[in-house]
Amino acid sequence: MPDTKFYLTDHSRELLFDFIQSQGGELVPDLHYDKPEYEIVKDVNQFMEYIETKTVRFYIISKKFQERDLWVNENELMAPPNYYIVQRVGGPYIDLALYRGWADDAAVKMKSTYVGHYARFLDKGDYSIEYKASEELKDFYKGMLKFLRSLCKKVNINGKNYYIDKNSDGY
Q: What is the pLDDT of residue 2?
A: 57
Q: Where are the domains of the chain?
A: 3-165
Q: What is the CA radius of gyration of the chain?
A: 17
CB under 8 Å to 26, separation ≥6 — which residues?
A: 20, 40, 41, 60, 61, 62
pTM of the model: 0.93
Which is nearest to 67 in space by CA: 134, 143, 139, 140?
134
The model's pLDDT over 68-81, given as tens digits with 9 standing for 90+, comes to 899 999 987 777 78
The DSSP secondary-structure symbol of 63 reads T
CB 164, CB 155: distance < 8 Å: yes
* Percentage, residues of the chain above pLDDT 70: 98
* Percentage, residues of the chain above pLDDT 90: 80
In terms of Cβ atoms closer than 10 Å to its own Cβ (0-12, 13-18, 19+), residue 27 is buried
The model's pLDDT over 1-22, given as tens digits with 9 standing for 90+, comes to 456 899 999 999 999 999 999 9
Integer Cα distance of 157 and 81 in angstroms: 47
